[in-house]
Amino acid sequence: MLGENRRMRIKIIPISVLSDNYSYLIIDTESSVAVVVDPADPEAVQAFLEKEGVMLEAIFCTHKHWDHSGGNKGLKRLHNSCRVYGNATDNIPGLTHPLSDKDCVTVGRMTFRALFTPGHTVGHMIYLLDGRAIRAPSSLFSGDLVFLCGCGRMFEGSATTMLSSLDTVGSLSDETLLWPGHEYAEDNLLFAAEVEPRNTARENKYQWVQQQRGQKLCTSPSTIGEEKEYNPFLRIHSVDLHQALGLQQYQDEDWTQFRARVLGELRRLKDVYKGKK
Ligand SMILES: [Zn+2]
């Protein structure tokens, strides 16, 4: 099973829901407790909970959009003691435990750190499963902030806000596993080819993604280190990218302002390249 760590027995199961969303079930197999990230379809998640014979202790919700939060109340009805975590500014259905930036939550032997990453929505949060305690790489559940080779649309934040959230992801260690909220890898890699045509890391990843998707297999997890090599939204500093977009830093513009302008232009191009992602 994907993500299973033999020594400490943490198991991460991507569950395909709706047209292209992923919920993630994360199990501490020794204590048989589990958490789920973004359970949009409660029945799909419930089927895995029963199959694995584990108890659901917590829901981590990245943001309010229905394709991430739509199953919170349904699952909570089935699991009375289950806690629902998220940021209070995001109107998350069924929220019981509001979180702020860098709050930690422990379930079994798993410790998750919530990171406040607004931009896609005002209260978007991502969740980092700390690998140290389980002697495995850390795992980031990134919702609609970062996808394999992409980022979420900036519905409720400026480019400066989104850049700060992307920088939070970029500051994590390279070995961190990335488990995003949607299967957008193929389209995202094609878009990246338009803005960084000479990037061989992206070309290699595209070949692999095509093989996976040809068999309808999940492309999670990626790693932060890999993403930094080809994901244009984590490469806002790249001179190749600036040239492709025809952008140059003004004399009176500081580096963060310039990078926010690059991100704004990159996201605008992506919005018109593919309508909905
Ligand atoms: Zn969303």
Domain ranges of the chain: 10-273
Q: What is the number of residues in the chain?
A: 277
111-145 CB burial, b ≥16 within 10 A, e <16: bbbbbbbbbbbbbbbbbbbebeebebbbbbbbbbb
Cα(150) to ligand 1 centroid in Å equals: 13
Place of tokens 């070309």: 203
CATH number belonging to domain 10-273: 3.60.15.10
pLDDT number for residue 277: 47
pLDDT number for residue 135: 84
Reported as a single tens digit per residue, the pLDDT across 119-141 is 999 999 999 999 988 888 999 99
pLDDT above 70 covers a percentage of the chain that reads 96
pLDDT number for residue 8: 56
Cα(63) to ligand 1 centroid in Å equals: 7
Q: Are 223 and 230 in contact (CB under 8 A)?
A: no
Q: Mean pLDDT for the chain? A: 94
Q: Is 206 exposed, middle or buried (0-12, 13-18, 19+ CB in 10 A)?
A: buried
pLDDT number for residue 133: 82
Average of per-residue pLDDT across 244-273? 96
Reported as a single tens digit per residue, the pLDDT across 32-62 is 999 999 999 999 999 999 999 999 999 999 9
Reported as a single tens digit per residue, the pLDDT across 64-107 is 999 999 999 999 999 999 999 999 999 999 999 999 999 999 99
Average of per-residue pLDDT across 16-45? 96
Reported as a single tens digit per residue, the pLDDT across 141-200 is 999 999 999 999 999 999 999 999 999 999 999 999 999 999 999 999 999 999 999 999
**Per-residue confidence band for 1, with pLDDT thresholds at 50, 70 and 90:** very low
Reported as a single tens digit per residue, the pLDDT across 205-223 is 999 999 999 999 999 999 9
Cα(234) to ligand 1 centroid in Å equals: 19
Structure token digits, residue 203: 């070309």
Instruction: Report the catalytic residues.
Output: 63, 65, 67-68, 120, 144, 182
Cα(156) to ligand 1 centroid in Å equals: 11
Of the two residues 275 and 47, the one the predictor is more confident about is 47
Cα(144) to ligand 1 centroid in Å equals: 5
- Give the N- to C-terminal CA distance of the chain in Å, as an integer: 28
Place of tokens 């410790």: 111
